[in-house]
Structure 1
């Protein structure tokens, strides 16, 4: 059975519209600025955790002590 050319054209246009919408959505999700903002927010959230903050302070103090001791030997 042959399909009506108008029906085929409508199907093509619907498929094209669906593809365009999908590409727009992917473009929005894959936007590098969005990744940067998400990463910054995630890092800020982690640094606001007192356990992480104090652990980083402790590591920084330890590195400082080691460097100072090596300089004055």
Structure 2
């Protein structure tokens, strides 16, 4: 059974519009600025974890002590 050309044209336009929306969403998700912001937020959340924060402070103090010790030997 043959379909009406107007119906086919409408379906094509709807598919094109849906594809355009999908491409816009993908472009937004994959934008470099958004990826950088997400990475920064992830790193900040890791540093807010007390285990990570205090471990890094301990490593920093240890490195500082070793540097000072090496300078004054």
Q: How does 1:30-45 map to 2 (within 5 A)?
A: 30-45=30-45
Give, in angstroms, the shift of residue 68 of structure 1: 4.6
TM-score of the superposed pair, with normalisation by structure 1: 0.81
Give, in angstroms, the shift of residue 9 of structure 1: 0.3
TM-score of the superposed pair, with normalisation by structure 2: 0.81
Partner deviation per Cα, 1:4-59 (whole Å, 9 max, x = no partner): 11011011001000100000010111111111111111111111222111101112
User: What runs of 5+ residues in structure 2 fail to find an aligned partner?
Assistant: none
Which residue does the alignment assign to 1:25?
A: 25
Q: 2: CA distance between counterparts of 1:56 and 1:10?
A: 60
Q: 1: CA distance between counterparts of 2:45 and 2:2?
A: 60
Q: Would you say how many aligned residue pairs link Structure 1 and Structure 2?
A: 73
Which residue does the alignment assign to 1:56?
A: 56
Q: 2: CA distance between counterparts of 1:66 and 1:33?
A: 39
